[in-house]
Amino acid sequence: MDDIKAKSKNANQHRSAVIFILASTLINSTSGLLVRSLEAATDWQIVLYRGLTLSMAVTGFVFLQYRGATIKEIRRIGLWGFFGGFFYCFTLIGYVLALTHTTVANAVFTLSTLPFFTAVIAWLVLGERVDRVTAMAIALAFGGISLMVGDGIAAGTLFGTLMAIMTALCFACFVVVLRKGRATNMLPATAIGALLAALVAIFMVDGDYLITGRDLGICLVWGAIISSVGHILIVTGSRHIPGAELTLLILLEFIFTPLWVWLFMNEVPGSMTLIGGAVVLSAAGGRALLSMRRPQRLAGLPL
């Protein structure tokens, strides 16, 4: 009887986790559309207002969880947590710069290499094994990246592609930090990273803080609602779902994000970007499917 109850509980937790991850995926997939809807805000103004609101929203959520023990909980993340905040800071900066300097498709398809960057960095830092399937998928994915980099050079958007690669690298480092401190609630590291990104942006905007009310509203929605809710959902859901299945669900974000921009903004990516993106998504999806068929988990978490 206890076994039946335990299985039922696990099934319910898994079902709820899938719903959380799917909701996070759909929410986060609107980011490209939000950026393309801005009227005149510069990239650093976007980083500033998104970072501030994201930091405030996540800090507010942590406060609701711990109330008077909030400061103590923030201190618990330790040095590794502050390292995580540093990497998350440049993740936020790189993502905005990628979206504003190349096509949305190029940016998000490049970001879909995240599981492979994570696997390599986890191997280097944590000593986690990279098996043959993952190694083959990494090689295939980087072949897809080379196609997108070539397309970026041809289209004059190489800087945006490089920023997307930097974003994937920094977020992979953030994930490894989360794994290192997985016994601790690392949400405060997200708030710290967002605040650091806003502080960097303050220097970069050079006193030019004024943006239109419409643009400010979009930045606030992106930071305080889209990013914060999406992040909280994925952190919550990832506790009860296998890494390979999580990878497959998150890959939907990299498909929907350019789809919304194509449907509503008529932004059509280059042919090499589409081919390279298909290669990368196939590598990540194939690796996840093979992992789900095995009793052991492949090295590397997606997000």
Q: What is the pLDDT of residues 136-190, one digit of tens each?
A: 888 888 888 888 888 777 777 889 989 999 999 998 888 888 777 665 677 888 8
pLDDT bucket at 14, cuts 50 / 70 / 90: confident
Average pLDDT, the chain: 83
Residue 295: pLDDT band (50, 70, 90) is very low
Per residue, what are the HEC states of 25-70? Answer: HHHHCCHHHHHHHCCCCCHHHHHHHHHHHHHHHHHHHHHHHHHHHH
**Residues ≥6 apart with Cβ < 8 Å to 111:** 95, 98, 164, 167, 168, 171, 254
Q: Which of 3-7, 55-59, 120-124, 195-199 has the lowest mean pLDDT?
A: 3-7
pTM above 0.75, yes or no: yes
- Are 296 and 164 in contact, with CB atoms under 8 Å apart? no
Higher-confidence residue: 67 or 182? 67
pLDDT tens, position by position, 181-216 = 665 677 888 899 999 999 999 999 988 999 999 999
Contact 178, 84 (CB under 8 A): yes
Q: What is the pLDDT of residue 283?
A: 83
What would the pLDDT profile of 247-268 be if each residue is shown by its tens digit? 667 778 888 899 899 889 999 8
pLDDT category at 101 given cuts 50, 70, 90 is: very high
List, in order, residues 6 or more apart from 139 with CB less than 8 Å away. Answer: none
Summarised one tens digit per residue, pLDDT across range 19-54 is 888 888 899 999 999 999 999 999 999 999 999 999
Per-residue pLDDT at 59 exceeds 80: yes
